[in-house]
Amino acid sequence: MSNGLRNPAAIAAASEFAKSDTGKKTIKAGADALQLVLVVGGLFAAGSFAWKQYKKYRSNKYLTDNAAKRETQIAVLMYSSMFTLPRDLGWFSITIPDGTNEELLNQLARQDTDLSLVAKAYKIIFDKVLIKDVNSELSGTELHAFFNNLNADGSDVNTPAPDLIPYLKGEPVFVRKKNGDVATRKGVKQANGAWLITNDTRGTFSFGEEIGIIYDIKRYASGEIDYIIDQHYSVDSIYGFTVASHRDLLNKNPES
């Protein structure tokens, strides 16, 4: 440490400088600068606090005013599928443990709701960017599956029946219906080789599930197509074959 200030001569010089006009001006300038720093710092802290309180107010007001909107509900559910819900959210009192629920996230991605509206609600409620959060929480394959769920077309309800192109026998078939399960029917082969299709169910399957392998194809006069499916791990000769509509199926996994 310097011994300068312990030197009587140095102390005297400093005292004389402080008494001089130049010294007084220097000290005043330093004090003014310090005061300015404190004022600016205080204003910044107050402004930052006020901005945080405003965003909290805006979030709670948005939740109150838009609770019944589907995009609001999906935004909250998407957040809760990746993170723990904030305790002070107000509208929701439950707390969901942290850890990404990919299945729920993909299910929400398939909802027929404009993603831009969901992302806007997500930003207002949580002050976060939805796609950035999804990207940070999912691995490469999980992220790929999420976007495939998001862009899934769902059941084919637009193609005219005569224009439907059947898949091939021996191909696997997967459920393409986005929302709700596909309830299959039962097919029994008659002595004359024709298929008797009944409304007895052979199980229900959800989006992306593989039902089995196409065993036979039944095309109706209208052009509609049913597939007779050899369901995995099932004794079809006893229980009957699984039958599902072409419109609800794809010959590839829609999530991959």
Query: Superfamily for 67-150?
Result: Annexin (1.10.220.10)
> Tell me: the pLDDT tens digits for 58-75?
888 888 898 899 999 999
Question: For the chain, first and last CA: distance in Å?
Answer: 69
> Tell me: the pLDDT tens digits for 81-127?
888 776 555 545 444 445 788 989 998 999 888 889 999 999 999 99
Q: Give residue for tokens 């990207």.
A: 135
Cα separation, 44 vs 235, whole angstroms = 73
Q: Would you tell me how many other CB atoms lie within 10 Å of the CB of residue 67?
A: 12
| pLDDT of 76 higher than 60 | yes
- In the numeric block, which tokens belong to residue 195? 């298929």
- Residue 35: CA atoms inside 13 Å, Cβ hemisphere, count? 6
One-letter amino acid for residue 52 of the chain: K
Domain boundaries, the chain: 7-59, 67-150, 161-250
- The reply to whether domains 67-150 and 161-250 share a CATH topology is no
- Residue 53: CA atoms inside 13 Å, Cβ hemisphere, count? 6
Contact indicator for 113, 74 with CB cutoff of 8 Å: yes
161-250 CATH choice from 3.90.820, 1.20.1740, 2.30.30, 1.10.3470: 2.30.30
The mean pLDDT value of the chain amounts to 82
Cα separation, 81 vs 41, whole angstroms = 38
Contact indicator for 212, 187 with CB cutoff of 8 Å: no
Report which DSSP code applies to 144.
Answer: H
Which residues have C-beta within 8 Å of that of residue 118, sequence separation ≥ 6? 71, 74, 75, 78, 130
What pLDDT is attached to residue 95?
Answer: 44
